[in-house]
Amino acid sequence: MRLRTRALSLALVPALALGLAACGNDASEQDGGGAPTAPASTAAAPLAVTPADRETNVPVSAEIGVKEQGVALTEVTLTDGAGATVEGGLRADGSTWVPADPLAYDTTYTVRATAGDRAATSTFTTMSRPGNRMDAQIFMADGKTYGQAMPIVVEFGQGGVKEADRAAVERRLFVQSDPPQLGVWHWDSDIQVEYRPEKYWQPGTKLTVRLGLGGLPVGGGRYGKVDVDLTASIDTKRREIQVDNATKKMTAVEDGKTLQTYPVSLGKKEAPSFSGTMVIIERLEKTTFDSSTYGVPASSADGYRTDVQYAERLTWSGQFIHAAPWSDADQGRRNVSHGCVNVSTGGGKWIFDWTRVGDPVVIKGTEEQLPVGDGWTAWNMSWEDFKAGSALS
C-alpha cells in the first residue's frame, strides 16, 4: 500500500532592512568612517527526529517523526543496513512518515529527513521479535464486492485493545476510498471497531484498507502480530431490505424502487426481533439452528434443532432472515419466531439470490432495540454519535 504524500508550500518571510531617519552624523561618521558591520547569518536549527539517533529496541511499526510540535516533514528517506530504500509516505499533515510495511526485526536503519530548510540524519535499531503478539482480522475478503452499507469491521484477539491504547491502534488503521468519502472509526468494544462514511458508500466505490499493526505496541506488553492489506468494492446497485412489524411485511428495494414484498413473522413477545439498522453479515444457503449453542437444550420446551434454508445473519446473537415453511400460516399475521425474520421458502430464496453481504436491513416497530456491537451496528446511530466513538479527536 502507498500512503499519499502531500507537498507542503512553505511561505518564506524575508527580513526587511528598515531605514531610520535621524539628525546628525551617519554611522560611518560616528565610528571613524569604517564600513558598517554585516549582520551575522542565522543557520537553521538542526532537526531532531524520532526515533532518536542511535535509539535501540525500536518497534518495527515505528514512524519517522519530529520531536518539535507543529513542524511538518517534507521529505524522508529510510534505508536498511544493506542500503536498500524502504518504501513509505507522509501522512497528509506531514506529522510523520509511515513505512509501507513493518520494518525488519533486529535491523539498523538510517534516516534522512527534511522539514523545510532543516534536515537531519540519524540511525536506529529495531527490537527483536516479541513473543506476546495480538491477532486482528478484518471481515472482508480481498477483491470481493459488498453492499452499500458494508462497514469495515476489525476484530482483535487476545483480550483486544483497552481504552488507553485505542488511539495508538486507531492511528494505524488506514482506509482510502475512491471516490473519496470522509469516514471514521467507532469502538464498539475492546475487541471490535467499525469504520463507515457519513452516508452509505457511493455505488462503485473502491476501498483500500491497511491494518498497520505488525509490531505495534497494543498494551499489556503485547504487540500486533502482522499487517493486513486488502482491496474491496461496493456494488453499483443500492439494495435495502425493509421490515415493518406493524404490517408484518418485508420489502426489497433497489435503487429506490420496490421489487418485492413478502409477509413475514418476527420474534414472539418472549424473544422479540431487534429494531434498528442492521447489515447482512453472512449468507448460508443451508445450515442448522441449534439452541444448545447458546445454552438452551434442544430437548427443552424452548429448545430447537432445525435445518434451515436461505439464512442471512443479522446479529452475532443469532437473529437471521431465513425461510421458515413451518410458520407459513403465521407470516403476515402474528410473530412466532425466536427473534428471526421468517419468510416463505420462495420468498427466502428470492431474497437470498438478490442480496449481498453488506446490504442494509432496517427493522422497525418491535419491542427491543438493537444493542451496540451485536452484529455490525455502525449504521444504527447518528453520524455524531458514531464519531464520538473514535479514540481520536
The DSSP line for 22-76 is: -SS--HHHHTTTPPPPPPPP-PPPPPPEESPTTEEEE-TT--EEESSTTPPP-EE
pLDDT of residue 292: 72
Section 369-380 average pLDDT? 96
Give the residue, 287 or 294, on which the prediction is more confident.
287
**At residue 175, does pLDDT exceed 70?**
yes
pLDDT in tens, 203-220: 999 999 999 999 999 999
**At residue 334, does pLDDT exceed 50?**
yes
Grid cell 543557520 in the structure block, residue: 43
| Residue 307, SS3 per DSSP | strand
Catalytically annotated residues: 322, 340
pLDDT of residue 305: 79
pLDDT in tens, 70-101: 999 999 999 999 999 999 999 999 999 999 99
Angle at 165 between CA 201 and CA 140, to 5 degrees: 30
b/e string for 176-188 if b means 16 or more Cβ within 10 A?
bbeeebebbbbbb
**At residue 153, does pLDDT exceed 80?**
yes
Lowest mean pLDDT segment, chosen from 5-19, 105-119, 175-189, 321-335: 5-19
Give which of 199, 178, 189 is closest to 153, Cα–Cα.
189
Confidence of residue 18 (pLDDT cuts 50, 70, 90): very low
**At residue 251, does pLDDT exceed 90?**
yes
Confidence of residue 124 (pLDDT cuts 50, 70, 90): very high
pLDDT in tens, 305-332: 789 999 999 999 999 999 999 999 999 9
pLDDT of residue 33: 46
Whole-number Cα distances in Å, 259 to 189, 202, 253, 312: 37, 21, 6, 19
Is pTM beyond 0.75? Reply is yes
pLDDT of residue 43: 58
Asked if the peptide bond before residue 371 counts as cis, ω within 30 degrees of 0, the response is no
Q: 278: which strand partners?
A: 361
**At residue 351, does pLDDT exceed 80?**
yes
Give which of 169, 214, 204, 199 is closest to 187, Cα–Cα.
169
Section 224-235 average pLDDT? 98
Contact 117, 129 (CB under 8 A): no
Give which of 282, 287, 242, 249 is closest to 265, Cα–Cα.
249
pLDDT of residue 24: 36
Percent of the chain with pLDDT over 70: 87
Q: Which domains does the chain carry? A: 46-126 (2.60.40.3780), 133-234 (2.60.40.3710), 239-369 (2.40.440.10)
